[in-house]
């Protein structure tokens, strides 16, 4: 069929043309351009190796991925020393974290606790900027609910950031205990069992 026959079909079929011209949009809801919010819940920390594997695979396939482990450290990484893998995966951990020290050392040293919290807050501030920028195809916030639980990140701040995010792909959140507010926001909830 040639282009002229297509043109003659659309002009002879006024009903098709009129439908598109007269559409007011009142019957249809505008589609959200953001990807899904996916929550992965497990009864113990450190059970999200499949998410890390999938992020590497996505990066190798050309998607731009940000993987942030908010509560993991030990490598003095910080935002300035983010690791780049597969050309498309940016992997960030705080420069200081709770798992680098014994709990009694932290509780006996207010400056150390403040330094750890400031390091996690710095990473969260970076995450907020990236969630709003639309630069990444997928963002993974590993153990973000632990940071909410110990009041480094406020629930309201996280909810507001997720509601205002601008990302074409998915946002993946992980944790051991998920507040109900976030379960209600999620498009997908996966419970990982041991």
What's the chain's average pLDDT? 81
66 φ, ψ to 5°?
-115, 120
Q: Above 60 in pLDDT, residue 9?
A: no
The tokens describing 113, both together, are: 């606790």
Please give the share of the chain, as a percent, with pLDDT higher than 70: 78
pLDDT digits (tens, 9 = 90+) for 10-46: 344 444 334 344 434 444 334 345 689 999 988 766 6
Q: Hey, where are the domains in the chain?
A: 30-192
Q: Which CATH code is given to the segment(s) 30-192?
A: 3.40.50.300
Is pTM beyond 0.85? Reply is no
Report the DSSP beta bridge partners of residue 138.
65
Q: What is the pLDDT of residue 46?
A: 62
Please tell me what DSSP assigns to residue 42: E
Q: Quick one: pLDDT band at residue 74, thresholds 50, 70, 90?
A: low
Q: What is the pLDDT of residue 11?
A: 42
What is the spatial distance between Cα 77 and Cα 32, in angstroms, rounded to a whole number? 35
The tokens describing 3, both together, are: 């282009």
Helices (H) and strands (E) in the chain, counts: 8, 7
What is the spatial distance between Cα 71 and Cα 148, in angstroms, rounded to a whole number? 11
Please give the share of the chain, as a percent, with pLDDT higher than 90: 47
Dihedral sign (CA 38, 41, 46, 48):
negative
């Amino acid at each position: 069929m040639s282009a002229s026959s297509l043109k003659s079909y659309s002009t002879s079929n006024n009903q098709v043309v009129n439908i598109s011209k007269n559409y007011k949009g009142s019957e249809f809801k505008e589609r959200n351009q953001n990807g899904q919010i996916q929550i992965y819940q497990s009864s113990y920390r450190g059970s999200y190796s499949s998410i890390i594997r999938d992020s590497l695979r996505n990066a190798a396939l050309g998607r731009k991925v940000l993987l942030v482990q908010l509560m993991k450290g030990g490598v003095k990484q910080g935002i300035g020393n983010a690791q780049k893998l597969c050309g498309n995966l940016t992997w960030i951990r705080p420069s200081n974290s709770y798992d680098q020290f014994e709990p009694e050392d932290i509780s006996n040293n207010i400056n150390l606790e403040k330094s750890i919290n400031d390091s996690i807050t710095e990473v969260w501030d970076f995450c907020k900027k990236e969630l709003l920028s639309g630069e990444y195809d997928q963002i993974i916030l590993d153990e973000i609910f632990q940071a909410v639980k110990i009041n480094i990140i406020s629930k309201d701040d996280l909810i507001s950031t997720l509601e205002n995010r601008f990302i074409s792909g998915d946002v993946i959140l992980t944790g051991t205990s998920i507040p109900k507010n976030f379960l209600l926001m999620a498009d997908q909830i996966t419970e990982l069992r041991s």
